[in-house]
Amino acid sequence: MNLFPDDRASELRELFFESAAELLQSLNDEGLQLEKRPKDEELLRQVRRTVHTLKGDSAACGFTELSDLAHLLEDVLRPEVAAAAKSALAEVVLIAADTFSSLLSAYRGNLQPPAGEELCQQILSLTRKPAKTVRYKLQARFLWSEYEQMVVADALGRGETVYNIAFRIDPHCPMRGAAMQLIRNVLQECGRLLAIAPDQSTLSHDLDVVEASLASEHTPEWVDKKCRIPSVIEEILVQQASLRKESEPLTDDVLDIFPDVAGPEDADSGPPVTAEEIPAPYVAGERPATAAPTLPAESPAISFSGMAENLLRVDAERIDAVLNLVGELIIAKSMLHQAVNAFDKSFPKDPLRGRFADAMAFQARILNDLQKSVMKIRMVPVEHLFRRFPRVVRDVAKSCGKEVSLVVTGQDTDLDKSILDMLAEPLAHLVRNCVDHGIETPVERINAGKPAQGTVRLNAYHQGNQIVIEVEDDGRGIDRAKLVAKAVDREIIAAADAAQLSEQELLNLVFHPGLSTAEQVTAISGRGVGMDVVRTVLNRLKGTVNIATAPGKGTKFFLKVPLTLAIIKALLFRVGGRVYAVPLASVVEITRVARSQIHNVDNHDVIQLRDDVLALVHLHGLNRQANSATKMFVVVTTLGDRKFGLVVDHLVGEEELVIKALDDQLVATDLVSGASILGDGTVVLILNIASVVAKLGRSQLTMGATA
Mean pLDDT comparison of 101-105, 285-289, 622-626, 666-670, highest-scoring range:
101-105
Q: How much is the average pLDDT of 163-168? A: 88
Q: Which of 110, 112, 104, 114 shows the shortest CA–CA distance to 24? A: 104
DSSP symbols for 59-103: HHTT-HHHHHHHHHHHHH-SHHHHHHHTTHHHHHHHHHHHHHHHH
Lowest mean pLDDT, pick from 105-114, 508-517, 634-643: 508-517
Element at 416 (helix H, strand E) = strand 414-416
Rounded Cα distance between 590 and 167, Å, is: 84
Structural contact between residues 592 and 633, judged by C-beta atoms closer than 8 angstroms: yes
pLDDT tens digits for 54-95? 888 888 788 888 888 888 888 788 777 777 776 788 888 888
Give the bridge partners for 642, in sequence order.
639
Looking at the chain, the whole-number percentage of residues with pLDDT higher than 70 is 76
Per-residue DSSP letters for 22-50?
HHHHHHHHHHHHHHH-TT-HHHHHHHHHH
Sequence-distant (≥ 6) Cβ neighbours of residue 21 within 8 angstroms: 104
The Cα 257–Cα 443 span in angstroms is 47
Cite the beta strand spans of 170-275 per DSSP E: 192-197, 209-215, 233-240, 254-256
pLDDT confidence band for 662 (50 / 70 / 90): low
Residue type, 117: E
Which of the two residues, 436 and 181, has the higher pLDDT score? 436
CA–CA distance from 198 to each of 25, 121, 191, 202, 241 (Å)?
30, 8, 19, 6, 20
Cross-strand partners of 646: 617, 635
% of the chain surpassing 90 pLDDT: 10
Checking if the pLDDT of 249 tops 50, the result is no
Contacts of 416 (CB under 8 A, 6+ apart): 375, 378, 379, 563, 564, 565, 566
In this structure, how many other beta carbons lie within 10 angstroms of the beta carbon of residue 665? Answer: 6
| Residue 293 predicted with pLDDT over 60 | no
d(CA 688, CA 675): 11
pLDDT of residue 243: 65
More confident residue, 200 or 272: 200
CB burial of 520-537 (b: ≥16 within 10 Å; e: otherwise) equals eeeebbbebebbbbbbbb
- pLDDT of 216 reads 92
What is the C-alpha separation between 538 and 324, in angstroms, rounded?
Answer: 23
Task: Output the pTM of the full model.
Answer: 0.58
- Between CA 664 and CA 684 the distance in angstroms is 17
At 115-134, the pLDDT tens digits run 777 888 788 777 654 433 33
Mean pLDDT estimate for the chain: 76
At residue 244, does pLDDT exceed 80? no
For 440-498, what is each residue's pLDDT tens digit? Answer: 999 999 999 999 999 999 999 887 667 899 999 999 998 888 888 888 888 788 877 77
Q: What is the pLDDT of residue 282?
A: 34
pLDDT, position 348:
84
Residue 304 scores a pLDDT above 70: no
Helix (H) or strand (E) holding 605: strand 604-609
Give the pLDDT band of residue 573 (cuts 50, 70, 90).
Answer: very high
Band (pLDDT 50/70/90 cuts) for residue 668 is low
Q: Tell me, what's the pLDDT at 518? A: 58
Cα(91)–Cα(330) distance, rounded to whole angstroms? 53
* Per-residue pLDDT reduced to its tens digit, 17-26: 888 888 888 8
CA dist 145 and 153 (Å) reads 12
**Alpha carbon distance 411, 393 (integer Å):** 17
Q: Give the residue, 21 or 665, on which the prediction is more confident.
A: 21
Task: Kindly state the helix (H) or strand (E) to which residue 701 belongs, with its residue range.
Answer: helix 700-706
Which residue type sits at 450? K
With 70 as the cut, is the pLDDT of residue 698 above it?
no
Q: Of 226, 228, 252, 222, which is closest to residue 240 (Cα–Cα)?
A: 222
Rounded to an integer, the average pLDDT of 143-152 is: 72
Query: How many whole angstroms separate alpha carbon 390 and alpha carbon 29?
Result: 8
Cβ atoms 455, 404 nearer than 8 A: yes
> Do 616 and 632 form a contact (C-beta atoms < 8 A)?
no
Give the helix/strand (H/E) hosting 676. strand 672-677
Cα torsion 436, 440, 441, 442: sign: negative
Query: What is the per-residue pLDDT across 608-643, written as a single tens digit (0 to 9) for each?
Result: 888 888 888 888 766 655 566 678 899 998 876 678
Return the pLDDT at 459. 94
Q: What are phi and psi of 526, to 5 degrees?
A: 115, -10
Q: Residue 647 pairs with which residues in a beta bridge?
A: 618, 634
